[in-house]
C-alpha cells in the first residue's frame, strides 16, 4: 500500500499495523497526507464511499490539485495551516464528490508525532445537519414574519427564578401598537417593569399557573391600567417549552367603550320614554 514509501511509517514501527487497521476501518472519512511533498499518501474506505472516487484517483496526487478539494483553496485558514503543518480541528469547508455534489464538512488536520512524515486529515460530513439547521432557520423566519404582521398581539416570555420573573423575548407589532411602546424598550425586561399594574390586573397569577401546570388558560376580559396606559385586554396563555410562555391577546377597549355608550343611550331612551304620556 502507499504508506510503505519512505515518507511514511517504517515497516517495523511499533503499532504500525494497529494504526493502519484503525485508519482503514474507521467510520470517519480519513486521508493520510505527506507534508514535505504535499501529496496524498492514502485514503480509507469511508473517504472513498463519501467522495465516489477510486483510490488511484486520489493517492499519489497533490492534495490541492484534486477535484475533491477544488473549492477548499477558497478557505484560506485551512490551506495555510495544512501547508504549515499546523494542527486544527473541526473547521468547516466544502468537499466536492465525483458526481459534482458539494458537501459541507468539518476538516481536522492532525500531524502524526514521531519521525513519520505524515499527517491525518479527517473529514466529517455535516451536510444533513446544515440542511436541517437551514430548514429550522427558514421555519423560524416564517414564524417571525407571520407573528410580526398579524393583528393579534403576541408576546413570548422567558421564565426565570422558578416563575418569579417573566422576561420579554418577543413582542410583535400589534402589541407595540396596542401598548404604545416599542419592542426595543420591552425586550429583556421583566413584565412588572414594563407593566406595573399587571399584578392587580391578574395576569401574573395566570402566568405562574400555566408555567407550573403546563395547561393553557384564558385570562378573562379585564381592565388594565397604570400611569402610562389603560385598556381592556383578554389574554390566552400557553406553555411553549420548559422555560417559555406564549401570550396572545386582543385589545377590546373599543368594544367596551361601545358597550358603555350603548348602555348610556339605552338608559337615556328609557328615561325619555318614562317622561312621555301614556
Taking the whole predicted model, whether its pTM rises above 0.75 is answered as no
Q: Can you tell me the distance from the alpha carbon of 167 to that of 83, in angstroms, rounded to the nearest whole number?
A: 50
In this prediction, residue 222 carries a pLDDT of 93
Backbone angles phi, psi at 188, to 5 degrees: 90, -5
In this prediction, residue 5 carries a pLDDT of 43
Q: How is residue 3 written as a grid cell?
A: 504508506
* Nearest CA-CA partner of 246 in 168, 142, 181, 164: 168
Q: Is 164 helix (H, G, I), strand (E, B) or coil?
A: coil
In this prediction, residue 211 carries a pLDDT of 95
Identical topology for domains 2-126 and 149-258: yes
* Nearest CA-CA partner of 25 in 5, 57, 47: 47
In this prediction, residue 269 carries a pLDDT of 61
Q: Is 17 helix (H, G, I), strand (E, B) or coil?
A: helix
**pLDDT tens readout for residues 171-192:** 999 999 999 999 999 999 999 9
Question: Per the CATH hierarchy, to which homologous superfamily does domain 2-126 belong?
Answer: PAS domain (3.30.450.20)
Instruction: Give the position of cell 422567558.
Output: 158
Return averaged pLDDT per consecutive 10 residues of the chain, 278 residues in all. Answer: 48 63 82 92 92 92 87 73 88 87 89 82 87 72 72 92 93 93 95 95 95 94 93 93 91 78 65 62
**pLDDT tens readout for residues 64-87:** 888 888 776 567 778 888 888 889
Q: Calculate the alpha carbon distances from 102 to 68, 136, 178 in Å.
A: 9, 21, 49
149-258 to CATH, choices 3.40.1010.10, 3.40.50.300, 3.40.470.10, 3.30.450.20? 3.30.450.20
Domain coordinates in residue numbering, the chain: 2-126, 149-258
Q: Is 165 helix (H, G, I), strand (E, B) or coil?
A: strand
Amino acid at each position: 500500500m502507499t504508506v510503505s514509501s519512505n515518507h511514511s511509517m517504517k515497516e517495523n514501527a511499533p503499532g504500525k499495523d494497529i494504526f493502519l487497521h484503525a485508519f482503514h476501518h474507521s467510520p470517519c472519512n480519513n486521508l493520510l497526507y505527506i507534508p514535505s511533498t504535499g501529496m496524498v499518501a492514502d485514503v480509507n474506505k469511508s473517504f472513498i464511499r463519501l467522495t465516489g472516487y477510486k483510490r488511484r484517483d486520489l493517492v499519489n496526487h497533490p492534495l490541492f490539485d484534486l477535484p475533491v478539494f477544488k473549492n477548499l483553496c477558497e478557505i484560506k485558514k485551512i490551506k495555510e495551516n495544512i501547508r504549515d503543518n499546523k494542527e486544527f480541528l473541526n473547521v468547516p469547508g466544502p468537499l466536492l464528490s465525483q458526481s459534482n455534489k458539494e458537501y459541507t464538512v468539518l476538516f481536522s488536520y492532525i500531524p502524526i508525532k514521531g519521525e513519520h512524515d505524515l499527517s491525518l486529515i479527517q473529514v466529517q460530513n455535516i451536510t444533513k445537519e446544515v440542511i436541517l439547521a437551514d430548514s429550522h432557520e427558514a421555519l423560524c423566519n416564517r414564524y417571525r414574519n407571520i407573528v410580526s404582521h398579524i393583528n393579534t398581539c403576541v408576546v413570548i416570555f422567558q421564565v426565570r427564578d422558578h416563575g418569579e420573573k417573566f422576561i420579554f423575548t418577543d413582542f410583535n407589532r400589534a402589541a407595540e401598537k396596542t401598548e404604545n411602546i416599542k419592542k426595543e424598550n420591552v425586550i429583556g425586561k421583566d413584565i412588572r417593569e414594563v407593566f406595573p399594574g399587571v399584578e392587580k390586573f391578574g395576569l401574573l397569577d395566570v402566568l405562574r399557573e400555566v408555567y407550573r401546570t403546563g395547561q393553557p388558560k384564558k385570562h378573562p376580559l379585564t381592565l388594565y391600567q397604570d400611569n402610562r396606559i389603560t385598556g381592556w385586554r383578554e389574554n390566552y396563555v400557553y406553555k411553549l417549552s420548559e422555560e417559555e410562555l406564549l401570550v396572545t391577546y386582543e385589545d377590546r377597549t373599543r368594544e367596551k367603550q361601545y358597550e358603555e355608550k350603548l348602555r348610556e343611550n339605552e338608559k337615556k331612551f328609557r328615561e325619555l320614554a318614562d317622561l312621555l304620556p301614556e
